[in-house]
Structure 1
Amino acid sequence: MKTRLTNKNNSLPGDTLKKLINHIRKVDKISIKDSDEKYLSLMGYFHGYQACRFVRTDSPHNSLNIKRFSQIRNIYNVNDQLKLLFYPIIMQLETALKSRIIDILASNHHCYLHDIFANCLNGYKDIIPHNSKLRRKRRDRIKNKYRIEGKLYNAMSRNIGNDTINYYVKRNQEVPIWAIFEFITLGTFGYFVDLLNLDIRKKLEESIGIIDNQDLKMMDNYSHDDTYKKYTFICTHLFLLNDLRDAVAHNKIIFDCRFRSANSSEAVKYQLRRKFHMKQPVTFNSIVDYFTLTSFYQYKLGINVKYIYAEQHQLHDILLSFLNHEGESNFDKAFGQDAFKKLHQINFKI
């Protein structure tokens, strides 16, 4: 999110904390005590204070109604609580999803990079180049294939001294894919899955259980004659999860989903809404939508529902704390008017 000071005659980013406090008090018209200097120092001026004054962008239309610095502190604390909630969930999902694809590859004797590159990361062949758009798409897939190959080899070479990689190197053996997966990011993993051929993506989605007959019918309508678009639910899911994962891991603001960069198709949005029988739309402009997605995957991957319900109650309490401290107007801007309704509709009769 871009943030800026609009009054060039007042405090600038390089000023001392005391001058920044005077700027907050005189220019931003926000009540702040001199003793709040330590909290401003801990959260940072741009990273914390300015970031918590707005929702998604720093336009006046998206500004929160902030009168006191204590409100900024509360919003910042809520953001920290959300990161503490999501971090272990994302790490758990990343490990479980990598394990699923490893199981599918290994069961078909695809364990080593040269074989995987030749026989698995060849999804570009599923694109029939009927027109210039599809020809460009196929060409882009081929480029991405070589890019991912480079990332996998780089991950292996960077960690050549690690015990996991070194175990195979010492024995003069090829390093299997499951060892390399230990060192790739969720984003790289998402591109890896996206480049897999149709047959393997189908096995992966069926293995996890994220698709049913209605999903397949919807994808038929969505993909029309473009077969390569089928079985891409998990690819879209992974890119959405990676946005959240990167924001949490790199200590960014997440409460208003400003981290979102991945696109989500209408098919994916409708899929989650239908799975949980939600009356409200899933847009991924609310952190509740991301919780809906993580809960769906946790359930399908076999996590005990009592743990997921505990996380659901924890998110409810975090949202309620924000509402009680910041009021309905700020809450609706940050999380959406239907946040609690959507959260309460997450159940596991799916």
Structure 2
Amino acid sequence: MSKIKNIDSLMKYLRDRHNIAISGGHQKRRLRNIGYYHGYKGYRFINTPSRKIAYTDFNQVLAINSFDLDLKSIFYPHIMFIETALKNYVLEVTLQHSNTENFNEIFDKCLTYYKTFATGSDEYKKALKKRLGLREKIYNTLTRDYTNNRQVVQHFYHKDESVPIWAIFEVISLGEFGNFVSCSNINIKKNISTSLNLNQSCDANGKLTESIIYIIKDLRNSIAHNDVVFDTRFKSSNPNGSLLACLRLDTQITNINFHTIIDYLILVIYLLKNFHVTKTELNKVVNKFEILINNFRTLVPISIYNQIFHTDTRNKLNLLKSFIST
């Protein structure tokens, strides 16, 4: 595009350059509502720009856009619930080990995973750097939130008190929370893992909890920023092998790799079940997802659907229902 185009020019561009049928006032309004750049350009490929979707009609673009929004609405409340629950479980174990709410004391007593390694080794330096970076990030977050009049921070500073760990958990990002768990000593990691009822045969190094947090973090942030989620392009790293083994053993579902969104559904259901959410509620989540993808399949060519959902999707859903019922 060599120059700025108005909405009519963008419609003509879609017809002439991309061979997508689009016309009329209704589709013009829909294009304006979803936006050419956020809407069409955001949904014109699957996972990577090289995997272009062969659209022939603008209604197909709208179907994927609506499907993506509906996916976010299914995941959002449960991701928020999981984030809160994870922080509460970690907080409880941390307080048991530290016997204090003071972050500086917790930093000295509990965030000592770097001591696992030989002093001066590459692993030692990497772990210590992560620990120091976490402290700096937390202090920066508290400064920012005080400046922005966040009450949970201002309350303690105005009383000339340090911000307690539970309040820090309220304001740090999920990624930094994952770093907190990562920096915790091995005894704390193992206690957290046990409290979450994670498969201990898959967690010899105690890293299963942080792996879960990092995976959830990517999905949570994409939903919060209204980014595209249907093709898991938000995934920032490959999942830990221990996490894949844990899910496979506990759910009896194979081929979990987080290349498709259904694998994130499996993880969410797994965690919700560990948090003792009822079978009725879990089945509601899975049924909503199943209805959504079944409807989506009727709105796009099967060639597009099969690029998003693999042939084992139906089997994974059935096994997930079986896992819920156990």
**TM-score, with structure 1 as normaliser:** 0.87
Indicate the residue corresponding to 2:249 in structure 1: 274
Indicate the residue corresponding to 1:215 in structure 2: 202
Indicate the residue corresponding to 2:31 in structure 1: 40
Instruction: Report the CA distance between 1:175 and its aligned residue.
Output: 1.8
**Aligned pairs for 1:95-244 within 5 A:** 95-108=84-97, 109-128=99-118, 135-160=121-146, 161-212=149-200, 214-216=201-203, 219=204, 230-244=205-219
- Residue 243 of structure 1 contacts residue 262 of structure 1 at CA under 8 Å; is this kept in 2? no
Instruction: Report the CA distance between 1:110 and its aligned residue.
Output: 3.5
Q: Counterpart of 1:53 in 2: which secondary structure?
A: coil
Which residue identity lines up with residue 198 of structure 2 in the other structure? I
1:343 correspondence with 2:317: yes
Q: After TM superposition, what 4+ stretches of structure 1 lie above 6 angstroms from structure 2?
A: none
CA distance in 1, matches of 2:295, 2:42: 19
Rate the CA distance shift 1:321–1:98 in 2: closer, same or farther, 3 A.
Answer: same
Q: Provide the aligned C-alpha RMSD in A.
A: 1.7
Equivalent position to 1:30, from 16, 20, 25: 20
Indicate the residue corresponding to 1:77 in structure 2: 66
Indicate the residue corresponding to 1:223 in structure 2: none
CA distance in 1, matches of 2:2, 2:263: 37
- Residue 79 of structure 1 contacts residue 255 of structure 1 at CA under 8 Å; is this kept in 2? yes
Q: Counterpart of 2:41 in 1: which secondary structure?
A: helix
Bigger Cα displacement from structure 2, 334-343 vs 196-205: 334-343
How many residue pairs get aligned? The number is 320
Rate the CA distance shift 1:192–1:12 in 2: closer, same or farther, 3 A.
Answer: farther
Q: Counterpart of 1:143 in 2: which secondary structure?
A: helix
Which residue identity lines up with residue 263 of structure 2 in the other structure? D
Q: For 1:168-218, what per-residue CA distance to the aligned partner results, in whole angstroms no more than 9, with x for missing partners?
A: 334333221001111111111111111111110001000110123x325xx
CA distance in 1, matches of 2:224, 2:163: 28
Instruction: Report the CA distance between 1:25 and its aligned residue.
Output: 0.4
CA distance in 2, matches of 1:267, 1:119: 27
Sequence identity percentage: 26
**TM-score, with structure 2 as normaliser:** 0.93
Indicate the residue corresponding to 1:287 in structure 2: 261
Indicate the residue corresponding to 1:322 in structure 2: 296
Q: Unaligned stretches of 5+ in structure 1?
A: 1-10, 220-229
Instruction: Report the CA distance between 1:12 and its aligned residue.
Output: 4.3
Q: Counterpart of 2:18 in 1: which secondary structure?
A: coil
CA distance in 1, matches of 2:159, 2:224: 35
- Residue 52 of structure 1 contacts residue 72 of structure 1 at CA under 8 Å; is this kept in 2? yes
Indicate the residue corresponding to 1:7 in structure 2: none
Indicate the residue corresponding to 1:307 in structure 2: 281
Instruction: Report the CA distance between 1:111 and its aligned residue.
Output: 1.5
CA distance in 1, matches of 2:115, 2:188: 13
Bigger Cα displacement from structure 2, 336-345 vs 183-192: 336-345
1:250 correspondence with 2:240: no
Instruction: Report the CA distance between 1:167 and its aligned residue.
Output: 3.2
Instruction: Report the CA distance between 1:33 and its aligned residue.
Output: 0.9
- Residue 74 of structure 1 contacts residue 322 of structure 1 at CA under 8 Å; is this kept in 2? yes
Q: For 1:223-282, what per-residue CA distance to the aligned partner results, in whole angstroms no more than 9, with x for missing partners?
A: xxxxxxx0111111111111101111111110010111122122321221221112x300
Q: Unaligned stretches of 5+ in structure 2?
A: none
- Residue 164 of structure 1 contacts residue 179 of structure 1 at CA under 8 Å; is this kept in 2? yes
Which residue identity lines up with residue 98 of structure 1 in the other structure? K
Q: Counterpart of 2:47 in 1: which secondary structure?
A: coil
- Residue 89 of structure 1 contacts residue 294 of structure 1 at CA under 8 Å; is this kept in 2? yes
CA distance in 2, matches of 1:163, 1:53: 42
Instruction: Report the CA distance between 1:327 and its aligned residue.
Output: 3.4
Instruction: Report the CA distance between 1:20 and its aligned residue.
Output: 1.1
Q: For 1:145-184, what per-residue CA distance to the aligned partner results, in whole angstroms no more than 9, with x for missing partners?
A: 1111012112222233433233333433322100111111
Instruction: Report the CA distance between 1:105 and its aligned residue.
Output: 1.6
